[in-house]
Amino acid sequence: MPFSYVLLDADNTLFNFDLAERHAVSMVLERCGVPAPGAQERFSVINKGLWLRLEKDEIAPEELRILRFRLLLQELGSSMDPRDAAAIFLKGLSESCFVLPRSLGVLQALRRRRVPTAIVTNGFSVVQRRRLALSGLAPYLDAVVISEEAGVQKPDPALVELALSGLGCKEKSQAVLVGDSLSSDMAAARNAGIAGVWYNPRRQERPKGAPFYEITDLNTLLTLIRS
């Protein structure tokens, strides 16, 4: 059935998070003053690992914010305070608003169809709110749910429930969550009892028996939404 309510992930679904991360990490490395070949790649590995731990409630968001730089700076042999590095990174990330090419057009199409639309994102409020303000996407959103503000993160279904409530959706069969992450987005959709659409532009291997839709182009989402 065509869906009538749309929940969208932010990072690497609407925004190019990988590019934003590289930009923000480069600001930290410049301030650090330590030659760091491969430091960008190491940070990405460390960061992704910690976010997976956060999704499992093994660490808290504030711990993640500092720990990723404590680990990186230790590897680099830098004496920089990881709290300073974290502050520089978050400021750089919040100003690094790289909107993926299809994002605005899809949100505009959803608005023309009068489809209530929300962002449901894991992340820090100062980053996500600032990027939304800079992006030009905010006018096309009816609700924004951010994990730091909610006190839970995907795949916890509570984040999805907050978005559905914000959209006024009372029938879960009419709602769909779209995102690039299997461990947070598709798991959150499953946990909340709504449909999931895996955004997979890199054409990663689809898990066997996966109970969700898959798209490689964000425009394809519109074929699943009521006209």
Question: Does residue 155 have a cis peptide bond before it, meaning omega lies within 30 degrees of 0?
Answer: yes
Question: What's the pLDDT at 35?
Answer: 64
Q: pTM value?
A: 0.92
Domain parsing of the chain, residue ranges: 5-16+99-224, 17-94
**Does the domain at residues 5-16+99-224 carry the CATH identifier 3.40.50.1000?**
yes
Give residue-wise pLDDT tens across range 120-131.
Answer: 999 999 999 999
Does residue 1 carry a pLDDT above 70? Answer: no
Question: Measuring CA to CA, which residue among 28, 73, 66 is closest to residue 50?
Answer: 66
Residue % of the chain over a pLDDT of 70: 99
Give residue-wise pLDDT tens across range 143-176.
Answer: 999 999 999 999 999 999 999 999 999 999 999 9
Q: Average pLDDT in the 86-101 region? A: 95
Where does the pLDDT of residue 209 fall: very low under 50, low under 70, confident under 90, or very high at 90 and above?
A: confident
3-state secondary structure 117-180: EEEEECCCHHHHHHHHHHHCCHHHCCEEEEHHHHCCCCCCHHHHHHHHHHHCCCCHHHEEEEEC
Give residue-wise pLDDT tens across range 15-47.
Answer: 999 999 999 999 999 888 776 678 889 999 999
CATH number of 17-94: 1.10.150.240
Does residue 6 carry a pLDDT above 80? Answer: yes
